[in-house]
Structure 1
Amino acid sequence: MTDVPNFNEYDQPIGPPLPGWTPRALPPRTPIQGRYCRLEPIDVERHARELYDAYATAPDGRDWTYMSGGPFPDFDSYYAYATRLSASTDPLHHAIVDVGTGKAVGTLALMRIDPANGVVEVGHVAYSPLLKRTRAGTEAQYLLMRRAFDELGYRRYEWKCDALNAASRRAAARYGFTFEGIFRQAIVYRGRSRDTAWFSITDGEWPAISRGFEQWLSPENFDARGQHRAGLAALIAAARA
């Protein structure tokens, strides 16, 4: 999109036209296959036990501090939670299945789905210790972005988090999101007030961000020890340049 404004008959600046724009389709409840992981709409019978076991590898409950649910003291409590996730259409929750083990090791969701305006948010990102800092964890984000932009033609992809959640804000920056500001006292959750940090990627930015992800995920980017040779943020920045 150009930054040069258009003007109407009253000499007022207006946004760029979108000739032929039509509402986009809702995200389908279908798997997305990647090289390192596969995204599957959550099936409580298929995924609940694996997800509970994966989350149980954490030494404490700190991963749930900024989430609306959890931590879960036993499988029954997680099963009830996963049952609600699987029944939801917005958010549309996905299990992240590690291709190497065939087991679900985390979740994320498309949410606040707005087909009329082509806007969607990624949220409810819950990575177990088995998924953090892995190629599969990064690829899961890429696969969901690719569905939104390339498959469905959405114009805007959002990331929001508690403004105090430093890890989430770092992740958004690493994935190529642009910080847009703080919505003060936006949410009440867990009996406390939350300021919300907003981030986004637009369709015009997506091609460069996509190239950065593809370069990072390439097997050639990893040495014999599995360490990446070039960082994702650096690759995205280079693609943008």
Structure 2
Amino acid sequence: MSETWSPRRTGCPGHDVLDGSSVTLTPVAQDGVSEALARAMLRESAELWRWMGIGPFADEETFLAMLAEQAEAGLNLMAISKPGGPPLGMAAFMRMKPQFGCAEIGSVTYGQDLQRTKAGTEAIFLMLKHIFEDYGWRRAEWICNDQNKPSARAGERYGFTYEGTFRNHRWVKGANRDTAWFSMIDTEWPERKATFEAWLDDANFFADGKQLKSLTDLRHR
């Protein structure tokens, strides 16, 4: 743990295009991105929004209004696509505290074509790299409804550490929500980064796209 800290950059993450080998993250605030994202996400099943505090949406106007509200609340939303393709999902830099060097990766909503893909994992890697390397921040958070077990497993798979559960934390869509909290800190990032890079390497995938070793296996080897 460093005894001194200062960020590398002023402001907050989420204003830059993030390019990877299999995925691109584009700020929703850029011209035309929000409309393309709305069209894409409205084609997805309503089940996609089950654990989210937002959605499902009846039409493009309602979806765009949500994006505007999220931006007003301080979320820097990113549209996720494969290079040159339409949006397949979204995620946000949120609950950002530049004075402490802390941000949550949240509102992670993957359409069917992004779920369980190399591109979906690389998107989270790029967001973490943006937080820890471009901004030099100290802590990244992953939180979810305690009943949302797939999200909790995803957070642990990415290398976040479970910290505890806030009981009766929120009232969402007419029901109580207990919230599970996970974190990753700057001193852990070099090891987590190496694991992501080993997993994302083309040598870790068969010709049909299936992984040779899992992200969890690589981290625990």
TM over 0.5: yes
Task: Give RMSD over aligned pairs.
Answer: 1.9
Q: Could you tell me how far 1:44 is from its partner in structure 2?
A: 7.1
Task: Report Cα offsets for 1:47-97 as digits up to 9, x if no partner.
Answer: 334333433443x32221111111112222223223334x44721111112
Whether the 8 Å CA contact 2:199–2:214 is kept in 1: the answer is yes
Aligned counterpart, 2:11: 26
Whether the 8 Å CA contact 1:106–1:126 is kept in 2: the answer is yes
Aligned counterpart, 1:70: 55
Secondary structure in 2 matching 1:36: coil
Aligned counterpart, 1:168: 151
Secondary structure in 2 matching 1:102: coil
User: Are 2:80 and 1:96 equivalent residues in the alignment?
Assistant: yes
CA distance in 1, matches of 2:52, 2:30: 19
User: Are 2:55 and 1:55 equivalent residues in the alignment?
Assistant: no
User: Are 2:80 and 1:80 equivalent residues in the alignment?
Assistant: no
Residue 131 (structure 1) aligned to one of 107, 111, 114: 114
Q: Which amino acid in the other structure matches residue 131 of structure 2? A: A
Q: Could you tell me how far 1:204 is from its partner in structure 2?
A: 1.1
Q: Which amino acid in the other structure matches residue 76 of structure 1? A: E
Q: Could you tell me how far 1:142 is from its partner in structure 2?
A: 0.3
User: Are 2:26 and 1:43 equivalent residues in the alignment?
Assistant: no
Residue 208 (structure 1) aligned to one of 164, 186, 191: 191
Structure 2 unmatched runs, 5+: none
Secondary structure in 2 matching 1:179: strand
User: Are 2:138 and 1:155 equivalent residues in the alignment?
Assistant: yes
Residue 203 (structure 2) aligned to one of 195, 209, 220: 220
Asked which structure has the greater RCO (Cα within 8 Å, sep 6+), the reply is: 2
TM-score, reference length from structure 1: 0.84
Task: Report Cα offsets for 1:13-39 as digits up to 9, x if no partner.
Answer: xxxx723x2356322511111111111
Whether the 8 Å CA contact 1:158–1:200 is kept in 2: the answer is yes
Residue 185 (structure 1) aligned to one of 168, 176, 200: 168
TM-score, reference length from structure 2: 0.91
Whether the 8 Å CA contact 1:163–1:195 is kept in 2: the answer is yes
Aligned counterpart, 1:233: 216
CA distance in 2, matches of 1:26, 1:161: 26
Aligned counterpart, 2:182: 199
CA distance in 2, matches of 1:198, 1:81: 25
Instruction: Kindly name which structure, 1 or 2, has the bigger radius of gyration based on alpha carbons.
Output: 1
Q: Could you tell me how far 1:103 is from its partner in structure 2?
A: 1.2
Structure 1 unmatched runs, 5+: 2-16
